[in-house]
Amino acid sequence: MTNSDSEMGMMLKTDEDRVIHGSTITFNSINYTVFSKQYVFCMKPTKKQILYNLTGIFKPGMNAILGPTASGKSSLLDILAGRKDRRGLTGQVLIDGQPSMQDFKYRVGYVVQDDMLSETLTVRENLTFSANVRLPRNISSKDKTAIVDRVIKQLGLDKCADTRIGTENSRKVSGGERKRTNIGMELVLSPTVLFLDEPTTGLDSSTANSVIECLGQLSKKGHTIIFSIHQPRYSIFKLFDNIFLIAAGHCIYHGPASDVLSFFTTTGFTCEEHDNPADFILDISQGLRWTSCVNIENEIEGEGQKKDKIARYLHDVYIKSATYTSINQQIANVSIVSNEEKPIQPRSESRSALIKMLYVSQRTLRKSFRNPTLMVMQTIVPICLAIFIGFLYCNTSRTLENGIKNRFGAIFFIVCNQVFLNLSALELFIKDRSLYIHENASGYYSTLIYFISKLLCDILPLRSIPSVLFSLIAYFMIQFQQTVTKFFIFLLTIFMTAICSASICFFISASVESFALANLITAAYCVTMLVFTGYLLDVTTTIKFLAWIKWVSIFRYASNAITVNEFTDLKLCQTNNTNICLINGEDILKDQKIDYSTTWDLWANFVALGIMIFVYFILTYVQLLRIQKAK
């Protein structure tokens, strides 16, 4: 039996029979430096060291990383979980004494500080999604359901299992239930190691206590629980097995939680009888409660320098202690034992890319149907505008004056309508950005799967159907030329204009994090492109350094396509009641300097729109990759 088979068998055992053999994480000489540019145009990035020579061991049980704000807790947690870029990182992290596999970050559970859940799905549906896209393909749907049910029972989520998560403004489940659901998203993997970044943030004291107690129960089943926490109350602190106390990037204590007070007592600090030990040690790490026996300069300029010196002093005290010697001996013992064991086997393959895409698409559509406001309005508004345009230009005549003017007016209105209606696509990659970053980093799906799924679930219901409905109403009410070929060319133009407009929004939404900034950029872009439609400006007379803009204007290609389609073979007469036609539509096209003489002159507009769609799709995908890499 392979390691993977035994792991799967262990997943399916009942709570009473299941025994998790948690991994032991050891790390040696961890140093971490970040590089950042102080100014936008600064050529040379500045360096700032976050962690200094950290060494430690986390065994199965409750392992807490404590420290003041900005002390490096989250950075250390990310490094241990394999979630930090290797640039600026030195040192070694071992799993059971062996180098971690490349896919280690996908084999462990990681619960981020903020709740990462699909708000319109129920607790059970969120857990089921995690199981479907992350568990190995050799586990049946029935077994996955059993795993989800077991996790729900294990975390005490039975009563809210079929309740939707809800938004921040209209919560359906409590804060503690949301946090436990986040933990459950990772527990479906039955990970040997579970990382949590500040799991009590945003929770009241009672709820925070229940969450930590829940983690304590998991640790008793054999899980290695590693979490960062800022300032726990005593009822929480007493549940810790081991702590790693960090200040300004330096380790100032690492060992059993029960020994921390005696360690600092020998250093010269005394915790008062009714004082919270967690508050006591955090105060020490920040330079508070110092006694005269500590020889340190108090008149150092700059608060940051003072904190650094305090941290270095406490670190020096720690590395000279018996506790530090004991930790190093434990690390050495883990290495000796593990050298005799077999290497860690890579995990079994999870679902295929196609199946993952189906699950991601299913979730996206389910979220849309359960919050149908956008989908409904994206359909109703085009219908209303089509009717309005239809009445506005109803029975467009074939007379020289009104026929020409109304046709150009209708075409301009239609193109503007199609571009601006599809700006709703701006929120696509902004709204769920944090969820995408977390799920992508946790191995739920690849960037390509996410990208294609989001496109399909946006384009098919929100761009295609409204385009068809708009075309059917507007074309025949305006009474453009009544031929099948010309109608379908009009429909194709409307559809491609909608997709091209949406593709620009996709790119912008993947490039910026703020919806307000995305709106500003899109408005500036659209107004600029609108000028080069051909109706507001003779593009042939534009100054040279601006003339290139006409080649990237959606408005120009869309209006040219509809104009050529409508005006070719059109006869314009003096009045509607005469067959004496003084001018052909082709003459109008020639007067407007629009090419029409060959079939290519019409289809070149569709090729241009297609190229723009393709380019913006590629740029959007590149931006999503950039987001994933940056985080």
The pairing of strands 89-95 and 98-99 is antiparallel
Q: What angle do CA 82, 353, 119 make, to 5 degrees?
A: 70
Token pair 């700059």 is at which residue?
Answer: 302
Check pLDDT > 70 for residue 546.
yes
Token duo for residue 346: 């890579």
State the pLDDT at residue 273: 76
Minimum mean pLDDT among 334-348, 404-418, 491-505: which range?
334-348
* 362 against 545, higher pLDDT: 362
Cα–Cα dist 175/630, whole Å:
29
- Predicted confidence (pLDDT) per residue in 549-585, tens digit: 888 899 999 999 999 999 898 877 766 555 666 678 8
State the pLDDT at residue 284: 85
| Residues forming beta bridges with residue 51, ordered by sequence position | 32
Minimum mean pLDDT among 288-302, 356-370, 498-512: which range?
288-302
Q: pTM here?
A: 0.85
Q: Is 309 exposed, middle or buried (0-12, 13-18, 19+ CB in 10 A)?
A: middle
**pLDDT band (50, 70, 90) for residue 9:** very low
Instruction: Give percent above pLDDT 90 in the chain.
Output: 43
Check pLDDT > 90 for residue 146.
yes
Check pLDDT > 70 for residue 15.
no
If you average pLDDT over residues 325-350, what whole number do you get? 66
Cα–Cα dist 117/100, whole Å:
28
Answer for the pair 151, 127: CB distance below 8 angstroms, yes or no.
Answer: yes
Check pLDDT > 50 for residue 6.
no
Answer for the pair 99, 74: CB distance below 8 angstroms, yes or no.
Answer: no
State the pLDDT at residue 1: 40
SS3 302: coil
Token duo for residue 556: 């120009």
State the pLDDT at residue 185: 93
State the pLDDT at residue 629: 63
Minimum mean pLDDT among 31-35, 296-300, 446-450: which range?
296-300
Q: Which of 163-177, 206-220, 310-324, 483-497 has the highest mean pLDDT?
A: 483-497
| Torsion region of 47: left, alpha or beta (phi above 0 gives left; psi -120 to 50 gives alpha) | beta
**pLDDT band (50, 70, 90) for residue 474:** very high
Minimum mean pLDDT among 226-235, 492-501, 588-597: which range?
588-597
If you average pLDDT over residues 196-221, what whole number do you get? 88
- Predicted confidence (pLDDT) per residue in 304-314, tens digit: 567 788 888 88
**pLDDT band (50, 70, 90) for residue 455:** very high
DSSP track, 41-55: T-SSPEEEEEEEEEE
State the pLDDT at residue 38: 59
Check pLDDT > 80 for residue 301.
no
Cα–Cα dist 372/381, whole Å:
14
Answer for the pair 491, 386: CB distance below 8 angstroms, yes or no.
Answer: no
Check pLDDT > 70 for residue 335.
no
Check pLDDT > 80 for residue 142.
yes
CB atoms within 10 A of CB 142: 7
Cα–Cα dist 224/24, whole Å:
7
* Topology of the domain comprising 61-83+101-108+192-342: Rossmann fold (3.40.50)
Handedness of CA 171, 176, 177, 182 (dihedral sign): positive
| Helix axis angle, 599-630 to 433-441, nearest 10° | 70
Check pLDDT > 60 for residue 418.
yes
Check pLDDT > 70 for residue 206.
yes
SS3 556: helix
Check pLDDT > 70 for residue 40.
no
State the pLDDT at residue 57: 93
Average pLDDT over the chain, rounded to an integer:
84
Listed by start position, the domains of the chain span: 61-83+101-108+192-342, 115-190, 353-630
CB atoms within 10 A of CB 233: 15
Q: Which of 272-276, 335-339, 402-406, 433-437 has the highest mean pLDDT?
A: 433-437
